[in-house]
Amino acid sequence: MTEARGRRIAVLRERASGETRVAATPETVKKLVALGAAVAIESGAGVSASIADDDYRAAGAEIGALDQVVRGADIVFGVQGPEPALLTGAAPGAWVVATLDPFGQRERVNAYAAAGLEALAMEFMPRITRAQSMDVLSSQSNLSGYKAVLVAANLYGRAFPMMMTAAGTVSAAKVFVMGVGVAGLQAIATARRLGAQVSATDVRAATREQILSLGAKPIFVETIAGIEGEGAGGYASEMSEEYQRAQAELVSSHIAKQDIVVTTALIPGRAAPRLITDAQVATMKPGSVIFDLAAPQGGNVEGSVADQVVERHGVKIVGYTNTPALLPADASALYARNLFNFVSAFWDKEAGGPVLDDEIGDAVRLTRGGQVVNARLAD
């Protein structure tokens, strides 16, 4: 009898610098085992997310060294894409399920193809209702939006809430959130909880109501139409020059009065739009803080530096590129559930493993049969 695909799932220890997350938790191991999978976890994979080898063992996983874990694996789980050289010994055509940074790591995608692996990029999951529970971008962005506000609050030399004390009044911090997707919404909610006065902007008109419902003030370009309705897959596109000029003017007049700015604006498959220039940073009060959550895609803020806190004109600019990794336990728990939901939604009892349908399969599959097959990567 040939062994059915998907029986054996390997979970690797992350090797990227600063990565603290892990792609499975004892909870998801238990559920995967209940589905009929054998789960092998590389020793130490969970340590930085506060999960010990023994916790995985108790959940039904086998623990081993890299080569033991990868040998014969039908599916390899990662947070970030593992180097193809680590996957020697995996079953022919094995799935690599991770965030693969397909545009940034094109060479690695080619190497997965050359190795005969089937690479599935979780960040390419379509934004459709039935895939919401598999959406790693949403689960991680939500935590990023939260943590960005806490990091900014920590670097800010003043308090967030208004306080009336015997020694006098401390005024509330003014927080401006640019880009109101998943991260931006959580940033608004978190800043509000801390007692800040919050305003926010986006190019998508639909976000106005969401901003208001969180008790924040919408700041919108009124003279030129933004994006009405939900765009293709719910994403923004690049805006016209005319819109960009109007937005820059609006930002210039607003930003000088802000203490904290969190930028989250992304356009899938492109560099992040530049929303704040150095000249605009210079108008802010010394001691203000900007958290540029778009730093991994090149940044929304002129002068932000990947993985550093820099100071420009007395303003601190945070450019961390892996903000979810600052919350390793929760980020891993949600990410691991996303992967479990993905695999279990497609689990086929007869095949003894997951079998993808066309809509989601074609969206996330980067390589198959030695070729790069994803339409978004077509040259």
Q: Known catalytic residue: 235?
A: yes
Q: Could you count the other beta carbons within 10 Å of the beta carbon of residue 194? A: 18
Structure tokens at 241: 């020059």
Closest approach, Cβ 164 to ligand NAD, in A, equals 35
DSSP state of 327: S
Closest approach, Cβ 321 to ligand NAD, in A, equals 14
Report the residue number, 243 or 347, with the smaller CB distance to ligand NAD: 243
Token look-up 């279990």 returns 344
- Return d(Cα 149, Cα 33) in angstroms, integer: 38
Structure tokens at 84: 């193809």
Single out the catalytic residue among 192, 235, 244, 330: 235
Closest approach, Cβ 298 to ligand NAD, in A, equals 13
- Return d(Cα 171, Cα 159) in angstroms, integer: 8
Helix (H), strand (E) at residue 79: strand 75-80
Q: Known catalytic residue: 135?
A: yes
- Return d(Cα 293, Cα 251) in angstroms, integer: 17
Single out the catalytic residue among 127, 158, 274, 312: 127
Report the residue number, 141 or 367, with the smaller CB distance to ligand NAD: 141
Task: Report the C-alpha dihedral over residues 289, 294, 300, 301, rounded to 10 degrees.
Answer: 40
Closest approach, Cβ 129 to ligand NAD, in A, equals 6
- Interaction site with ligand NAD (CB under 6 A): 127-129, 131-132, 135, 137-138, 141, 178-184, 201-204, 234-236, 239, 264-268, 273, 275
- Return d(Cα 374, Cα 363) in angstroms, integer: 7
Q: Known catalytic residue: 210?
A: no
Closest approach, Cβ 194 to ligand NAD, in A, equals 21
Report the residue number, 264 or 374, with the smaller CB distance to ligand NAD: 264
Single out the catalytic residue among 8, 80, 108, 138: 138
Closest approach, Cβ 307 to ligand NAD, in A, equals 19
Name residue 96's beta-bridge partners.
Answer: 76, 119
Q: Known catalytic residue: 127?
A: yes
Report the residue number, 250 or 326, with the smaller CB distance to ligand NAD: 250
Report the residue number, 128 or 170, with the smaller CB distance to ligand NAD: 128
DSSP state of 166: T
Report the residue number, 97 or 266, with the smaller CB distance to ligand NAD: 266
207-215 long-range contacts, CB within 8 A, separation 24+ = 207/180, 210/180, 210/185, 211/180, 214/185, 214/188, 214/189
Q: Known catalytic residue: 335?
A: no
3-state class of 330 per DSSP? helix
353-354 and 347-348 beta bridge pairing: antiparallel
Instruction: List residues with catalytic annotation.
Output: 127, 132, 135, 138, 235
